[in-house]
Chain A
Amino acid sequence: GAVVSQHPSWVICKSGTSVKIECRSLDFQATTMFWYRQFPKQSLMLMATSNEGSKATYEQGVEKDKFLINHASLTLSTLTVTSAHPEDSSFYICSARPEGIPLGAFFGQGTRLTVV
């Protein structure tokens, strides 16, 4: 149980285009989902926290207009990287917290974004 699926697992896009990454909790409902960014050989940096049906809370320094987060249902959150640039290339990981579980979270397998 407690499976979180991210799609796609990797994507290459042209500079200036937008890319959408999906995060789904397959066997549980997640009121809270988190989006992280991980640069090579570095730790995970929390980008934003999203709660179903409300606006995401972004961490300091993260551009909310560039990284659009939607959490429209209890099993799906999406991250859209708008007008992508090469510096947006990174590994993006989502995590989801089951409803009623106050601590920890389950992680997706990550999405490798390369902007050329």
Chain B
Amino acid sequence: AQSVTQLGSHVSVSEGALVLLRCNYSSSVPPYLFWYVQYPNQGLQLLLKYTTGATLVKGINGFEAEFKKSETSFHLTKPSAHMSDAAEYFCAVSYGGATNKLIFGTGTLLAVQP
């Protein structure tokens, strides 16, 4: 079955440090890839997505992600963490089809220490 794996349910970084959140997918067919952020008791906000073309994708709030087909990965990075980045981050994939439904990873809670 197609799935999304996010390594590390909790990640803690210091303010100003590099943020790296990992995402791997399992399928031989490259999916469409998404990263969403969720703040407490809120819905999800799209950070960035990869569909086709350039494999390094830049998103909002200084985040970017690189699609690596050989590694079946789509890790999310940000050079310098801000306190406001503390939130839950979800990687998701879509394989097209009639509904193009999203399959979500289990999420990574990012904590930013002062």
Contact = CB atoms under 8 A, between A and B. Distances in A.
Nearest to A49: B99
Interface string B88-106: 0010001010011111111
A23 to B, nearest CB: 10
Contacts of B90: 43-44
A46 interface: yes
A107 B99 CA distance: 16
Main secondary structure of the interface of A (DSSP, over half): strand
Contacts of A110: 41-43
B97 to A, nearest CB: 10
Contacts of B32: 103-104
B102 A105 contact: yes
Given A42-B107, A104-B49, A34 B101 contact: yes
Interface residues of B, number: 24
A4 B45 CA distance: 11
A109 B101 contact: no
Interface in B31-47: 32, 34, 36, 41-46
Nearest to B99: A49
Interface of A: 4, 6, 9, 32, 34, 41-46, 49, 57, 91, 93, 95, 97, 102-110, 112
Given A43-B90, A103-B32, A104-B34, 11 more contacts: A9-B41, A34-B101, A41-B109, A46-B102, A91-B41, A95-B44, A95-B102, A97-B100, A105-B102, A109-B43, A112-B41
